[in-house]
Amino acid sequence: MSTGLPMVVRDPALPARVRVHEVGARDGLQNESGLVPVDVKAEFVTRLAAAGLTTIEATSFVHPKWVPQLADAEELFPRVRDALPGVRLPVLVPNERGLDRALALGAREVAVFASATESFARANLNRTVDESLAMFAPVVSRAVEHGLTVRGYLSMCFGDPWEGAVPVEQVVAVCRRLADMGCDELSLGDTIGVATPGHVSALLTALEQAGIGSGRLAVHFHDTYGQALANTLAALRHGVSTVDASAGGLGGCPYAKSATGNLATEDLVWMLHGLGIETGIDLGLLTATSAWMAGHLGRPSPSRTVRALAGAAASHKES
């Protein structure tokens, strides 16, 4: 690939800088069927930081029975925490027991995960939306007391496999409760990837009207229907400047019947850099990291940018 690509053309209506919230090590690897050795995970996180990612969701303090892929959290977290003092390393905590584990290991940022729909709250948390928020309330308040930064994930913000389209007002109402509870940031998840840019714009407008502005919001799009990057562009137009993405598109298997891949960080960074938006990320180092991880997982990265650039690099080596 020639240098000078993508050509940079700024759009003054978009943020000058975007912070990528990297979820590959947690959201990505928790969906892998095989277990990834803790050494590989630690190297993955370390390499992501070396590529310029400043916020890397490291792991999850859920019960190993539910997510055996992340059962090594107690071993992994201290290693990356000590190796990467300047990097934000949020961890997922489902309940007070999870928060205790995170606090014991010196985590400075935690995330809780709620659902905008009753069906998914039932399926994922075995609770109603009210019951799950009641479970999170003491987690958030205790985390805030300890001076931690708290993120609230909200799943199914656009569509739900059982309920179909999710009304914007319903999402705003749950966001309001998470914000009032003390969450510093809300990550709006399109868990099944069905959103389109007008819908994204409508939700962000409604949230702004409810007093939850773009500065407190992150977007978390899935590429199930190929919409993630177009939806991100719509969110940037609303001033959102924190975008969740997964290195190499890790998370869910894009080759399975029900493709549920996260937006690939590399595809996102290609667009952001073309738009002249600063990320601090070195795309070459990031791509090499994802190609390396794809090798460990034994299958090609679903990221189109990784395939294009890693392919180009391989061709270059051969020639």
Looking at the annotation, which residues are catalytic? 253
Which residues are paired to 262 by β-bridges?
A: 222
d(CA 111, CA 120): 18
Q: How far is the CB of 116 from a copy of itself (least distance, A)?
A: 13
* 265 lies in the binding site for a copy of itself (CB under 8 A): no
How, if at all, do strands 242-245 and 59-60 pair? Answer: unpaired
d(CA 192, CA 158): 8
How, if at all, do strands 55-56 and 59-60 pair? Answer: unpaired
Question: Which residues between 193 and 212 bind a copy of itself (CB under 8 A)?
Answer: 193-199, 201-202
Can you tell me which of 59, 69, 227, 290 binds a copy of itself, judged by CB under 8 A? 227
* 223 lies in the binding site for a copy of itself (CB under 8 A): yes
How, if at all, do strands 164-165 and 159-160 pair? Answer: antiparallel
One-letter amino acid for residue 152 of the chain = G
Q: How far is the CB of 104 from a copy of itself (least distance, A)?
A: 40
Can you tell me which of 96, 276, 285, 296 binds a copy of itself, judged by CB under 8 A? 276
CA angle 190, 196, 202 (to 5 degrees): 85
d(CA 185, CA 111): 9
Q: How far is the CB of 199 from a copy of itself (least distance, A)?
A: 5
* 221 lies in the binding site for a copy of itself (CB under 8 A): no
In sequence order, the 6+-apart residues with CB closer than 8 A to the CB of 231 are: 190, 195, 196, 197, 200, 219, 221
Torsion of CA 285, 25, 135, 124, to 10 degrees: 120
* 213 lies in the binding site for a copy of itself (CB under 8 A): no
Can you tell me which of 82, 256, 298, 317 binds a copy of itself, judged by CB under 8 A? 256
Stretch that binds a copy of itself, among 4-12, 38-46, 97-105, 124-132 (CB under 8 A): 4-12
* 254 lies in the binding site for a copy of itself (CB under 8 A): yes
* 170 lies in the binding site for a copy of itself (CB under 8 A): no
Q: Quick one: 123 or 275, whose CB is closer to a copy of itself?
A: 275
d(CA 153, CA 189): 7
Stretch that binds a copy of itself, among 35-43, 82-90, 103-111, 229-237 (CB under 8 A): 229-237
Instruction: Give me the long-range contacts of 307-314 (CB less than 8 A, separation at least 24).
Output: 308/1, 309/1, 309/266, 309/283, 309/284, 312/1, 313/287, 313/288
Q: Quick one: 150 or 310, whose CB is closer to a copy of itself?
A: 310
Question: Which residues between 122 and 161 bind a copy of itself (CB under 8 A)?
Answer: 158-161
* 319 lies in the binding site for a copy of itself (CB under 8 A): no
Q: How far is the CB of 191 from a copy of itself (least distance, A)?
A: 12
How many residues contact a copy of itself, by CB under 8 A? 64
Can the peptide bond before residue 6 be classed as cis, meaning omega within 30 degrees of 0? yes
- Which residue in 95, 70, 244, 229 sits closest to 155, CA to CA? 244
Can you tell me which of 264, 286, 291, 297 binds a copy of itself, judged by CB under 8 A? 264
Could you list the residues that contact a copy of itself (CB under 8 A)? 1-11, 158-166, 193-199, 201-202, 223-227, 229-230, 232-234, 254-259, 261, 264, 267, 270-271, 273-276, 300, 303-305, 307-308, 311-312, 314-315
